[in-house]
């Protein structure tokens, strides 16, 4: 048999890569838009062979590198990634006999990191922001560049390589033009490297300059994998604001709420960045007859269980195959139970009454810096759990200094309490309810610049 796109029969998985003849589907949104006239279509990019919009980019980066003679047989590739480009590159590398190394941030969902290893990539995990930051000396981009300086490696560099947005000029843009019969009036996408927005924007405006190109981005300190805040975008070479008609900022809270609605009300298994893009569209576009909007839905929900657990605490799972706890785990549970009861904890109102007084306790926030930066108790210093023993210089010399440990809800802070006790501190307590309880009780949190 030969590849037959209308019957969806292919000779090789590479024939499944999207093109004008073999487009990813577009489906109209019927419930969540609230529009009567404007038609909004979601372009479902998880129908690409390796599960995301970035398969197009991975394929084009390799094609371009091969054509330029930069990528050859048994090539060692290195690419910093937030997961999806890595997945496309890993699978294509398997098919083409390349070896892929992907430095990435430990902030990326565990699902994506495991999946990349499963797909055969050498995953190097580093402390970096969710989206690799170009300037971070210890970050994924810097590590990739270190590798790339060695002659046997080649870095495709999706953050700067124009083959990234060209993928969309060659495939996504022409697909959309054809699928809408040239009636598209607005193109909308969430922004990471900006390949999607820049490439589609250029192609579609070349067909009809009146088409509006709208980019959606999250707020600073966000928790949506694959996309960048405005500050992070400004560090990205393929971000071309002069080519876009509108940029819209969307909060994590709104994006995750819309993600839930897309799944439950539309029956579309859209991931968080798809919801972010859709909200960008709904914020920027009016309900008028004749308008046809296309929003890129970059990938689906299956890589984001850990993100959903964070944003919807009710969905957290208790392990479905509980194993017998080890003696160490039993000891830890007993210690935590002990700390939870008795005078190991303190309540929010009790703490408020003490703050501002001369003998106020020191507040130690034990969450990760990224979470801490989103908001913390005024005056709290940040020593993440994993660093309590190597950041002792930030702790008081006086082992009788009173300390209150703080986290989101008062669970991790119990472990913080035990760790501080193990360092000899005699007057440590954990804040029941944590930072979220603090806010629910009507008290405000500080962002880093305001910390006293
Ligand atoms: C889930 C997800 N959404 C959106 C994007 C943004 O796409 P682009 O990098 O083309 O701006 C990415 C990029 O990696 C992504 O992984």
| H or E segment to which residue 256 belongs | helix 252-261
In the block, tokens 């003679």 appear at 69
Residue 154 has pLDDT above 60, yes or no: yes
Query: What is the gyration radius of the CA atoms in the chain, in angstroms?
Result: 25
User: What pLDDT sits at residue 448?
Assistant: 65
Residue 3 has pLDDT above 80, yes or no: no
Residue 341 has pLDDT above 80, yes or no: no
pLDDT class of 452 with cuts at 50, 70, 90: very low
Which range has the worst mean pLDDT, 66-75, 318-327, 435-444? 318-327
Which residue lies with its CA nearest to atom 13 of ligand 1?
226
Separation of 400 CA from ligand 1 center, angstroms?
50
User: What pLDDT sits at residue 297?
Assistant: 98
Distance CA 380, CA 372 (A): 9
User: What pLDDT sits at residue 131?
Assistant: 67
User: What pLDDT sits at residue 109?
Assistant: 84
Residue 138 has pLDDT above 70, yes or no: no
- Indicate the length of the chain as a whole number: 452
Q: What does DSSP say about strands 153-155 and 76-78: parallel, antiparallel, or unpaired?
A: parallel
User: CB neighbours of 449 closer than 8 A, spacing ≥ 6?
Assistant: none
Opening angle at CA 68, ends 64 and 71, nearest 5: 75
Distance CA 114, CA 368 (A): 21
User: What pLDDT sits at residue 275?
Assistant: 98
User: CB neighbours of 387 closer than 8 A, spacing ≥ 6?
Assistant: none
Instruction: Give me the catalytic one of 54, 76, 112, 303.
Output: 54
| 54 is known as an active-site residue | yes
203/4: higher pLDDT: 203
Six token digits for residue 226: 């694959």
| 273 is known as an active-site residue | yes
Instruction: Give me the catalytic one of 18, 189, 273, 430.
Output: 273
Residue 224 has pLDDT above 70, yes or no: yes
Which range has the worst mean pLDDT, 193-197, 245-249, 418-422? 418-422
pLDDT class of 338 with cuts at 50, 70, 90: confident
DSSP category for residue 238: T
CA distances for 122 relative to 83, 86, 141, 225, angstroms: 13, 10, 15, 20
Residue 413 has pLDDT above 50, yes or no: yes
Residues above pLDDT 70, as percent of the chain: 95
User: What pLDDT sits at residue 440?
Assistant: 82
Q: What are the tens digits of pLDDT across the range 74-88?
A: 999 999 987 899 999
Separation of 372 CA from ligand 1 center, angstroms?
25
User: What pLDDT sits at residue 133?
Assistant: 67
Residue 327 has pLDDT above 80, yes or no: no
Which residue lies with its CA nearest to atom 16 of ligand 1?
226
Over residues 117-133, the mean pLDDT reads 84
Separation of 82 CA from ligand 1 center, angstroms?
8
Which residue lies with its CA nearest to atom 14 of ligand 1?
226
Mean pLDDT of all residues in the chain?
92
Q: Are 24 and 45 in contact (CB under 8 A)?
A: yes
User: What pLDDT sits at residue 429?
Assistant: 94
Angle between the N-to-C axes of helices 327-340 and 412-422, in degrees from 0 to 180, rounded to the nearest 10:
100
435/63: higher pLDDT: 63
User: What pLDDT sits at residue 410?
Assistant: 84
| Terminal-residue alpha carbon distance, the chain | 70
User: What pLDDT sits at residue 19?
Assistant: 96
Q: Are 190 and 227 in contact (CB under 8 A)?
A: yes
Distance CA 297, CA 189 (A): 8
For ligand 1, mutation pick of 80, 250, 273, 301 (most atoms within 8 Å of CB):
273
Distance CA 252, CA 222 (A): 6
Q: Which atom of ligand 1 is nearest to the CA of 193?
A: 9
CA-nearest of 45, 64, 47, 49 to 17 is: 49
User: What pLDDT sits at residue 17?
Assistant: 97
Residue 134 has pLDDT above 70, yes or no: no
Q: Are 329 and 76 in contact (CB under 8 A)?
A: no
Separation of 392 CA from ligand 1 center, angstroms?
39
User: What pLDDT sits at residue 90?
Assistant: 97
User: What pLDDT sits at residue 227?
Assistant: 95
Q: Are 97 and 62 in contact (CB under 8 A)?
A: no
pLDDT class of 130 with cuts at 50, 70, 90: low
Q: Are 426 and 404 in contact (CB under 8 A)?
A: no
Separation of 370 CA from ligand 1 center, angstroms?
20
Residues with CB under 6 A from ligand 1: 52, 54, 82, 84-85, 190-196, 225-227, 271, 273, 298-299
Which range has the worst mean pLDDT, 152-166, 167-181, 386-400? 386-400
Residue 356 has pLDDT above 90, yes or no: no
pLDDT class of 40 with cuts at 50, 70, 90: very high
* Domains detected in the chain: 15-317 (3.40.50.1100), 327-450 (3.40.250.10)
Over residues 32-55, the mean pLDDT reads 98
pLDDT class of 137 with cuts at 50, 70, 90: low
Q: What are the tens digits of pLDDT across the range 265-279?
A: 999 999 999 999 999
């Amino acid at each position: 048999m030969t590849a037959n796109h209308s019957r969806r029969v292919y000779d090789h998985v590479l024939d499944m890569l999207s093109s004008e003849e073999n487009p990813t589907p577009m489906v109209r949104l019927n419930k969540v838009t609230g529009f009567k006239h404007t038609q909004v279509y979601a372009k479902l990019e998880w129908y690409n062979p390796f599960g995301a919009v970035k398969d197009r980019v991975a394929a084009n980066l390799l094609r371009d590198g091969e054509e330029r003679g930069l990528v050859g047989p048994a090539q060692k590739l290195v690419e910093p990634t937030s997961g999806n480009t890595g997945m496309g590159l890993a699978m294509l590398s398997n098919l083409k006999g390349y070896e892929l190394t992907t430095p990435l941030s430990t902030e990326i969902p565990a699902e994506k990191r495991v999946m990349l290893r499963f797909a055969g990539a050498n995953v190097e995990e580093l402390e970096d922001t969710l989206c690799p930051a170009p300037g971070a000396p210890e970050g994924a981009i810097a590590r990739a560049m270190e590798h790339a300086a060695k002659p046997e490696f080649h870095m495709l560099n999706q953050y700067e390589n124009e083959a990234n947005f060209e993928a969309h000029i060659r495939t996504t843009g022409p697909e959309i033009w054809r699928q809408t019969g040239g009636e598209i009036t607005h193109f909308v996408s969430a922004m990471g490297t900006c390949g999607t927005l820049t490439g589609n924007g250029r192609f579609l405006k070349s067909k009809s300059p009146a088409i509006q190109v709208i980019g959606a981005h999250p707020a600073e300190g966000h928790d949506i994998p694959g996309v960048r805040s405005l500050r992070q975008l400004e560090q990205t070479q393929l971000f071309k604001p002069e080519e876009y008609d509108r940029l819209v900022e969307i909060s994590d809270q709104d994006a995750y709420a819309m993600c839930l609605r897309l799944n439950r009300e539309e029956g579309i298994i859209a991931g968080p960045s798809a919801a972010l893009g859709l909200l960008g569209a709904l914020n920027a576009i009016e309900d008028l007859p004749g308008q046809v909007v296309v929003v890129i839905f970059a990938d689906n929900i299956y890589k984001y269980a850990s993100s959903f657990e964070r944003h919807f605490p009710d969905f957290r799972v208790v392990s479905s195959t509980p194993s017998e706890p080890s003696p160490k785990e039993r000891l830890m549970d007993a210690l935590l139970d002990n700390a939870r009861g008795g005078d190991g904890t303190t309540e929010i109102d009790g703490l408020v009454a003490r703050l501002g007084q001369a003998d106020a306790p020191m507040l130690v926030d034990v969450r990760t810096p990224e979470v801490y930066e989103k908001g913390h108790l005024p005056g709290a210093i940040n020593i993440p759990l994993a660093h309590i023993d190597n950041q002792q210089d930030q702790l008081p010399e006086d082992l009788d200094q009173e300390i209150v440990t703080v986290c989101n809800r008062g669970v991790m802070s119990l472990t913080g309490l035990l760790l501080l006790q193990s360092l000899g501190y005699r007057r440590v307590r954990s804040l029941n309810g944590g930072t979220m309880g603090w806010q629910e009780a009507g008290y405000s949190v500080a962002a880093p610049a305001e910390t006293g």
